[in-house]
Amino acid sequence: NAGVMQNPRHLVRRRGQEARLRCSPMKGHSHVYWYRQLPEEGLKFMVYLQKENIIDESGMPKERFSAEFPKEGPSILRIQQVVRGDSAAYFCASSPSTPEGTEAFFGQGTRLTVV
Amino acid sequence: AQSVTQPDIHITVSEGASLELRCNYSYGATPYLFWYVQSPGQGLQLLLKYFSGDTLVQGIKGFEAEFKRSQSSFNLRKPSVHWSDAAEYFCAVVGVSNYQLIWGAGTKLIIKP
**Of the candidates B37, B89, B67, B95, which has an alpha carbon nearest to the alpha carbon of residue A99?**
B95
Q: So what's the pLDDT on residue A28?
A: 87
Interface contact A98-B98, CB threshold 8 A: yes
Interface contact A31-B99, CB threshold 8 A: yes
Q: So what's the pLDDT on residue A98?
A: 67
B51–chain A nearest CA distance, Å: 7
Question: Rounded to 5 degrees, what angle do the CA atoms B15, B21, B27 make?
Answer: 165
Residue A1 has pLDDT above 60, yes or no: no
B14–chain A nearest CA distance, Å: 24
User: Is B96 an 8 Å CB contact of chain A?
Assistant: no
Interface contact B101-A43, CB threshold 8 A: yes
Residue A90 has pLDDT above 80, yes or no: yes
Residue A100 has pLDDT above 70, yes or no: no
Per-residue pLDDT of chain B (113 residues; tens, 9 = 90+): 789 999 999 999 999 999 999 999 997 777 889 999 998 877 889 999 998 888 999 999 999 999 999 999 999 999 999 999 999 999 999 877 778 889 999 999 999 98
Q: So what's the pLDDT on residue B112?
A: 93
Considering only residues A25 and A104, tell me which one the structure prediction assigns the higher pLDDT.
A25
Interface of B with A in 13-52 (CB under 8 A): 32, 34, 36, 42-46, 49, 51
CB-CB: which of B36, B94, B103 is closest to A100?
B94
Are A91 and A106 contacting, i.e. CB atoms less than 8 angstroms apart? yes
Distance CA B44, CA B83 (A): 18
Burial B13-35 (b: 16+ CB within 10 A, else e): beeeeebebbbbbebeeebbbbb
Chain B, nearest residue to A36 by Cα: B103
